[in-house]
Amino acid sequence: MQLTGTVVFWRDDKGFGFVLCDQSGEKLFFHIRDMAGVGDRPKPGDKLQFSLSQDKRQRNIAAPWRFATAPAESQFKKMSARMLQGAADIAYANHTALLFRLAFFIAVVIALLFGKLLYVLPLLYVEASIFTYWLYKADKEAAIARHGNRLTEETLQLFSLIGGWPGAYLAQQQLAHKRSKMSFRREFGFVILGNALLVIWLLSPWGQAFLARMALWAA
């Protein structure tokens, strides 16, 4: 049966110490040679997981044993690895966002020139919303990892402005990201208003005339 306990004494030059068993309250001897797995040398306060064995004098000892929780240095290494991964994810998100903006602009120009903007507008909204949701998710994960390199608020608002605001709103509610910062929420409200006014204008006679002129110019 696996037992757990806390190191209450450790003599590093001799490689032995005592662990206080959580289950029995007994103070058990343990030695570095009985360590299983990997990790740093123990110190008082570390949590161990061990089996109950007996030495040559038939006394109970903790052997073999391992760390119940990763040592602080190992935790630091894991945190560093997560931060490096977060940096790679944010760099990838920024690079992909640049490509998406370029592709989105080309799609809008082509739709304008062929007089098909109103027909492809719903598809553009769906694609922009999906991509914006993904950007929010990447930035949320970077925030959780406390990574210094984050997506700028301007980037998130820009993708909301070009049609991704439904995805942004969904991400704010589901991921609980950027919904408590009042200045960002206020700007987001203006983005939705501006986006709605643009769509209304495109559907108006003035917008229709503009689209017709663009298609005529392309022809």
Q: How confident is the model at residue 98 (pLDDT cuts 50, 70, 90)?
A: confident
**Mean pLDDT (the chain, rounded):** 82
Q: Which residue has the tokens 């306990």?
A: 5
In this prediction, residue 218 carries a pLDDT of 57
Report the predicted TM-score, pTM, of the whole model to 2 decimal places.
Answer: 0.53
Q: How confident is the model at residue 5 (pLDDT cuts 50, 70, 90)?
A: very high
pLDDT exceeds cutoff 60 at 219: no
Of residues 100 and 25, more confidence is placed in: 25
In this prediction, residue 80 carries a pLDDT of 45
Local structure of residue 34 (DSSP, 8 states): G
Which string of b and e fits 162-181 if b means at least 16 CB within 10 Å? bbbbbbbbebbeebebbeee
Tell me the per-residue pLDDT of 13-42, one tens digit each, with 9 for 90 and over. 888 999 999 999 999 999 998 888 766 788
Helix or strand (DSSP H, E) at 182: helix 182-203
**Domains of the chain, with CATH numbers?**
3-69 (2.40.50.140), 74-218 (no CATH)
Of residues 211 and 168, more confidence is placed in: 168
Mean pLDDT computed over 188-209: 88
Tell me the per-residue pLDDT of 144-198, one tens digit each, with 9 for 90 and over. 766 667 788 888 998 898 888 999 999 999 988 888 889 999 999 999 999 889 8
Using alpha carbons, list the distances in angstroms from residue 144 to 140, 177, 185: 6, 10, 20
pLDDT exceeds cutoff 80 at 211: no
Token representation of residue 99:
């490509």
Q: Which residue has the tokens 């663009």?
A: 214
Q: Which residue has the tokens 């001897």?
A: 29
In this prediction, residue 79 carries a pLDDT of 46
